[in-house]
């Protein structure tokens, strides 16, 4: 069997307070894998650790955070063993990232052409002229009209949708193998979101790109992903192929989350099956299974012991005591 493109084994990332007295287990014993050209969705609510997980893979964590255990293997290499300099060469070239706010990801003082050609010059040593020509081709590929004219314009002269497409062009400039998108469409309007998602899909097909979508939106997962990992309080509570997860969720949290979203095709104006309570404070999660205070099926055991990751179906795992015979 071929090795997956990206594999996380027991990854844990903790935040420590200045005096080291308080530790937040933002990412706790996470194991995941992603094949070439496939799309993985990581869903979770605020504080579930999904963004910290993405930053851990990129090794772009803030200083208070530290990877305390586990492995990140990318194309057969151990990313945690890389020097900062080696990581710089991987970032942008082999792993690219798209952030939520397209305005904040572009520098207002440089032209679009400068910004798109920058990574080509840095990572591939392309000359100013070649980089410029290739950058123009990239703008065309992300369907920016009149790309030659747009190259000399500044980000503020463009609409939000166009800026997001430019961010997409920068991300794929060096033909990365993996693209991590953190809430890439949250600030976009519906029709622009649809256009952007189909553009990402197209880029993925053309470049055989693997993608990780970090999102709180189950609709994005349903539309874009092959597999999904559901995070709660720093742990992956359930993971598997999307159809299996949407049809037969094994973890009560996943099931409750899917049920609580109103559907367009749903006529009934009945009450939504809501999840009681609040998501836990990541710095003080409940003992045992972190979901137990909100779980309608909680057992005595759930209060004391954190459930291990169990295989519940082909390629589907869940951390839930209900699945222990």
Q: Which residues bind another protein (CB under 8 A)?
A: 45-46, 159, 161-162, 189-195, 198, 201, 216-220, 222-223, 242-243, 246, 256-257, 260-267, 269, 271-276, 278-279, 294
Which structure tokens are listed for 114? 């400068």
Please report how close the Cβ of residue 259 comes to another protein at its closest, in angstroms: 8
* Nearer to another protein among residue 82 and residue 201 (C-beta): 201
* Nearer to another protein among residue 126 and residue 245 (C-beta): 245
Please report how close the Cβ of residue 85 comes to another protein at its closest, in angstroms: 39
From residue 142, alpha-carbon distances to 163, 172, 209 in Å are: 11, 10, 15
Which structure tokens are listed for 14? 């903790």
Please report how close the Cβ of residue 104 comes to another protein at its closest, in angstroms: 18
The set of residues, in sequence order, having a beta carbon less than 8 Å from that of 278 and lying 6+ positions away, is none
* Nearer to another protein among residue 95 and residue 220 (C-beta): 220
Are the CB atoms for 258 and 79 separated by under 8 Å?
A: no
Please report how close the Cβ of residue 260 comes to another protein at its closest, in angstroms: 4
For every residue of 205-254, DSSP letters joined together read: HHHT-EEEEEES-HHHHHHH-SEEEEEETTEEEEEEEHHHHHHS--SHHH
CA-to-CA distance for 115 and 120, rounded, in angstroms? Answer: 10
* Nearer to another protein among residue 56 and residue 185 (C-beta): 185
* Nearer to another protein among residue 119 and residue 215 (C-beta): 215
Please report how close the Cβ of residue 280 comes to another protein at its closest, in angstroms: 11
């Amino acid at each position: 069997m071929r090795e997956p493109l990206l594999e996380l084994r027991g990854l844990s990332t903790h935040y420590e307070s200045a005096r080291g007295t308080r530790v937040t287990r933002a990412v706790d014993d996470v194991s995941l894998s992603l094949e070439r050209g496939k799309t993985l969705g990581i869903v979770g609510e605020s504080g579930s650790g999904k963004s910290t997980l993405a930053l851990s893979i990129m090794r772009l964590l803030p200083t208070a955070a530290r990877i305390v255990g586990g492995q990140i293997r990318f194309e057969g290499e151990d990313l945690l063993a890389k020097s900062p300099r080696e990581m710089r060469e991987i970032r942008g070239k082999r792993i690219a990232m798209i952030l939520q706010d397209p305005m904040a990801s572009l520098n207002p003082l440089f032209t679009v052409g400068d910004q798109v050609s920058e990574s080509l010059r840095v990572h591939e040593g392309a000359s100013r002229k070649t980089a410029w020509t290739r950058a123009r081709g990239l703008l065309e590929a992300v369907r920016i009209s009149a790309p030659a004219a747009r190259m000399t314009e500044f980000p503020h002269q463009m609409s939000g949708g166009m800026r997001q497409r430019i961010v997409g062009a920068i991300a794929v400039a060096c033909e990365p193998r993996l693209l991590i998108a953190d809430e890439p469409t949250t600030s976009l309007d519906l029709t622009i979101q649809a256009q952007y998602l189909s553009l990402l899909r197209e880029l993925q097909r053309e470049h055989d790109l693997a993608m990780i979508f970090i999102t709180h939106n189950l609709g994005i997962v349903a539309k874009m992903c092959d597999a999904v990992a559901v995070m709660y309080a720093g742990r992956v509570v359930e993971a598997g192929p999307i159809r299996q997860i949407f049809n037969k969720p094994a973890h009560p949290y996943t099931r409750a989350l899917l049920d609580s979203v109103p559907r367009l095709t749903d006529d009934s104006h009945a009450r939504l099956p809501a999840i009681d309570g609040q998501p836990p404070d990541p710095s003080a999660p409940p003992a045992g299974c972190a979901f137990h205070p909100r779980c309608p099926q909680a057992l005595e055991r759930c209060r004391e012991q954190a459930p291990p990751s169990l295989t519940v179906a082909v390629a589907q795992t869940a951390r839930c005591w209900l699945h222990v015979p």
